Amino acid sequence: MSAIRGAFSKDELRAKRVGVLFGGLSSEREVSLRTGAAVSGALRSLGYDVVDIDVGKDLPARLSAEKVDVAWLAVHGRYGEDGSLQGLLESMFIPYTGSGVLASALGMDKVYAKQIFIAHGIPTPPYRAFRDEASALAEKDSLPFPFPVVVKPSREGSSVGVHICKTRDDYEAAVRDAAKYAGTLLVEQFIKGREVQGGVLDDEALGVIEVRAAREFYDYDAKYKAGTGTQYLFPAPLPLEQYARVNEVCLGAHRALGCAGGSRSDVIVTESGDVYLLETNTLPGMTATSLLPKIAAGRGIDFPALCERLLLGASLKS
């Protein structure tokens, strides 16, 4: 892979104060704490001057007080992954890792992301979007695709609020739960197939990993709790043409959204070999069970090297 760098060299970055921003105020705070701890430890092991910053309402003051020169973003969910944090850093002229304001906002909102994917010819499951619980419930008998369906809030990550609904009773309960979270409600046709994930780093496809969850699907518990029986297979044991197609789709989604740094996309491969992109994560998790680090490791990039690679791409995007 080519060595794509950002605004700084390694030597320049070692002379700067690197703020690892984690925690935050979203439903994914717990995951972000793990990501932040892992990234902070990795960068310190490489000799960087790192300060840990738990993101709260006092963030601008903390960034100034700690004299942060560059920000490594380890904040997931709302207020961190949705363009809000990126906008703050742009206004403070602090270079940061990952995608910019627009790509982050688009990637975080599943409905807008789907519209982008469709416009770029990227296959994604048929869907309906509803502005609130009442409108979603009112159309439970007139969805344009059969059950089972998937119900999810449009602006949460880590499978928070996501439900597979096999019956109308399931659907009603799922809609009420998903409505507790941010954004519109997204209802998708359920696509049965193998769950795989594709990683992209510095605008190159890294590879594809297959996730075999012991649970019904790769939900929050399967992603982050130990002992769930989830298996990870890298490289994903797909026929070569399907593997290449998944890489193509994930890189296409990364580029369509305008992502930078790393991204990870969720994909379903059907029994007939069709590929469907579910969503793209513009700020992937970096925990012990996270998939982008597993994919990178399979390509010979260990965790500290991956963290450094992302740091080297830190920049202002506006």
| Structure token digits, residue 233 | 């297979």
| Structure token digits, residue 236 | 């994903």
Among the listed residues 32, 40, 158, 290, the single catalytic one is 158
| Structure token digits, residue 67 | 């004299």
Cβ atoms of residues 2 and 27 within 8 Å: no
Among the listed residues 171, 218, 224, 243, the single catalytic one is 224
Among the listed residues 98, 262, 285, 313, the single catalytic one is 285
Among the listed residues 279, 290, 308, 313, the single catalytic one is 279
Query: Of 123, 277, 315, which is closest to residue 200 (Cα–Cα)?
Result: 277
Among the listed residues 40, 247, 265, 281, the single catalytic one is 281
Q: Which residues are paired to 199 by β-bridges?
A: 207, 264
Q: How many residues does the chain have?
A: 318
Active site residue 266: yes
Among the listed residues 19, 24, 27, 28, the single catalytic one is 28
Active site residue 158: yes
Among the listed residues 266, 276, 308, 313, the single catalytic one is 266
Residues 6+ apart with CB under 8 A from 206: 198, 199, 200, 292, 295, 296, 299
User: Where would I find the H helices in the chain?
Assistant: 10-14, 29-45, 59-65, 84-91, 101-108, 110-119, 133-138, 168-178, 220-224, 240-257, 291-298, 303-312
Give the type of residue at 216: E
Active site residue 28: yes
Active site residue 279: yes
Active site residues: 28, 158, 224, 264, 266, 279, 281, 285
